[in-house]
Structure 1
C-alpha cells in the first residue's frame, strides 16, 4: 500500500498582500523540511466589505482545504471573531497572525509576532531593559507591548490618535507594571529612553520618504532604534537615526522569527530562522 503524502496548503490573509515575503519564506521552509506544499496570497478587503470573503476562507480551512493561515493588516484583530478559540498569548494581545486547526477540528488563533520580536531584539540589542518609546498603537504594537512587558521594560506608547494610545496603555497597564501614553514630543525628551520601536507603516514601500518620527525632534542620545518595517531595508526613520549616530535595525529578523514559529505550529517541523531570513533577503534584492 502506498503511503499518503500530506500536502500543506498555507496562505496569507491581508490587504494588500502582493508585496508580502511570506510566500518565498514558507516555500523555502517547505523545501528545507522536505515537505510538499504551497503558500498562497488571499487579498481580502477591510471589513465590512470583505466580511463574507473572510468567512468563506476561514470556512475552507475548517473543512480541510487549507492547513494554515497567516494574518496581516487589517485583519489581525477582526479575524478573532471568526475563530473558535485563541491561545493565551493571542487572547492577551488581542490580535492574531497565525491560524491553525487543532486535533478536534477547531480553528485556533495564535500570535507569533511577539516571540519573533523578542528573539530578534535579544540578538540585536546588547543593553538592559529600560525605558522604551513605542510608536503606534495598532495590532503590531499590541504584540510588542506584550513582548516587552515580559522582559520588564518601562513602556510609553504614542500614536497619531492619542485616544488609541491611551486605550492600549490602559489595557496592558497594571499596578505592578504601569504602561503610559504620552505624545512622543514629550516622552522622547526623557534622557533614560534607550529603545524606540516603530510599529506603524510610515516609511514602508512605496511610501519610503515618510517617517513616524517628528521632523526636527532630537532623538534620545542613547536610544536604539528598531523599525518593524523591512522593505525598504533602511527606512527614513533608520537613516535619520543613523545620521544622528544611533544604531538602527529593521524588522526582517522579527519577520523571519514569527514565520518560523508559525511554520512549526502548522507542520511540527522546526526550521532554522536563517532559512526564512535568507529567502526574504534574496527576494528583496531582486
Structure 2
C-alpha cells in the first residue's frame, strides 16, 4: 500500500458537483503506477466560493488543480497569468500554483487533438464542423485552427455560435437545421454538446449525407458509444469516442504537478472505463 509522507504533492479536481468526475481515477492510476508520493482528490466547490477556495489551496501547498463544470471561466478570471491555449479558449481547466502566482492552462484542445491522432485521424485532413458553442467547442475549435483546419460552428442557438465565431479568426457559422445536409463538405464533425450524454436526449443528426472517410468525434464519454458514434461505425465512418480526450487532456497537468509525464494506454482506458 502506498503511504503519503509530509512531503506529498497534492492536486485535485474542482467542480460543482464533482462526484461524477473520473479524473481522480485517472490521476490515482498514474500515481500508483509511478510510485509517487502524492494524492489527487475531488473538491466540490460552490460557484460563490470558487475564487476563495482556489487561493486557499495555493496557500495550503497544493501543486494545482483541474477545473470542471461550471468553473472554467471563473478559473480564467482568478489566474495571475494564463498561457496561449487558455487565452484562445477563454477558459481554464488546469491550474498550476507557482511561487509567482496562479497559472492557468487549457488542455481540452490538446486532449482532443491527441485523441484524434490516437484513432488515426489527421486533425488537419480537412474542414471541421463543430456542434455546440460552449467552452469545449471554443477550445477544440482553437486547437483545430492551430493545426491548420478550417472550422465551422453550428449551435442550437445561432447567436452563441456567431459570438464564438467572432472570437475565432476565419471561423464560419452554419444554421443548426442544416447540420445533416452539409456533412458532405467536412472531413470531421465534432459533437461538443451534452446531447447523447447519459440521461440526456440524443443528438438527432443522420449521417446519411456524410462523405466517405468522415471522422465523427463525440466528447461525451458516458456512454462510451453514443448513438452518433454507433451510426458512424455502422456506416463505415471513423468514430472517435470521448473518453480518450479526457485521458489525454490530463497528461499536461499531471506532468506539471507531479514531475512525471504519464502514458495513456489500454490499461488506463480499461481502468477508467470500468
The TM-score with structure 1 as length reference comes to 0.86
Distance in 1 (CA, whole Å) between partners of 2:228 and 2:234 is 10
Secondary structure of 2:187's counterpart equals strand
Tell which deviates more after alignment, 255-264 or 182-191.
182-191
1:94 corresponds to which of 90, 95, 98: 90
Do the aligned residues in 1 keep the contact of 2:202 with 2:227 (CA within 8 Å)?
Answer: yes
Do the aligned residues in 2 keep the contact of 1:98 with 1:109 (CA within 8 Å)?
Answer: yes
Aligned to 1:157: 153
Tell me the alpha carbon deviations over residues 105-145 of structure 1, each in whole angstroms, 9 at most, x when there is no partner: x0111011111111121221445521211011111111101
Aligned to 1:15: 16
Tell me the alpha carbon deviations over residues 253-285 of structure 1, each in whole angstroms, 9 at most, x when there is no partner: 2111111111001122111122xx634532432
| Matched pairs, number | 267
1:109 aligns with 2:98: no
Tell me by how many angstroms 1:5 deviates: 5.6
Do the aligned residues in 1 keep the contact of 2:51 with 2:74 (CA within 8 Å)?
Answer: no
RMSD (Å) for aligned C-alpha atoms: 2.0
Do the aligned residues in 2 keep the contact of 1:129 with 1:151 (CA within 8 Å)?
Answer: no
Aligned pairs for 1:232-247 (under 5 A) are 232-247=223-238
Distance in 2 (CA, whole Å) between partners of 1:129 and 1:7 is 44
Secondary structure of 1:144's counterpart equals helix
Secondary structure of 1:77's counterpart equals helix
Aligned to 2:217: 226
Distance in 1 (CA, whole Å) between partners of 2:67 and 2:132 is 19
Distance in 2 (CA, whole Å) between partners of 1:77 and 1:250 is 25
Tell me by how many angstroms 1:54 deviates: 0.8
Do the aligned residues in 2 keep the contact of 1:125 with 1:224 (CA within 8 Å)?
Answer: no
1:270 aligns with 2:253: no
1:194 aligns with 2:190: no
Do the aligned residues in 2 keep the contact of 1:24 with 1:280 (CA within 8 Å)?
Answer: no
The TM-score with structure 2 as length reference comes to 0.90
Do the aligned residues in 1 keep the contact of 2:96 with 2:257 (CA within 8 Å)?
Answer: yes
Tell which deviates more after alignment, 33-42 or 134-143.
33-42
1:27 aligns with 2:18: no
Tell me the alpha carbon deviations over residues 9-66 of structure 1, each in whole angstroms, 9 at most, x when there is no partner: 2111122321211001101111222212222212234xxxx22x21231121220342
Tell me the alpha carbon deviations over residues 167-204 of structure 1, each in whole angstroms, 9 at most, x when there is no partner: 1111012xxxx110112432543322111111112122
1:118 aligns with 2:113: yes
Aligned to 2:51: 55
Tell me by how many angstroms 1:211 deviates: 2.4
Tell me the alpha carbon deviations over residues 144-168 of structure 1, each in whole angstroms, 9 at most, x when there is no partner: 0111001211111111111111111
Distance in 1 (CA, whole Å) between partners of 2:195 and 2:140 is 17
After superposing on structure 2, the runs of 4+ consecutive aligned residues of structure 1 that deviate more than 4 Å are none
Specify every segment of 5 or more residues in structure 2 that has no aligned partner in the other structure, as ranges: none
Do the aligned residues in 2 keep the contact of 1:27 with 1:39 (CA within 8 Å)?
Answer: yes
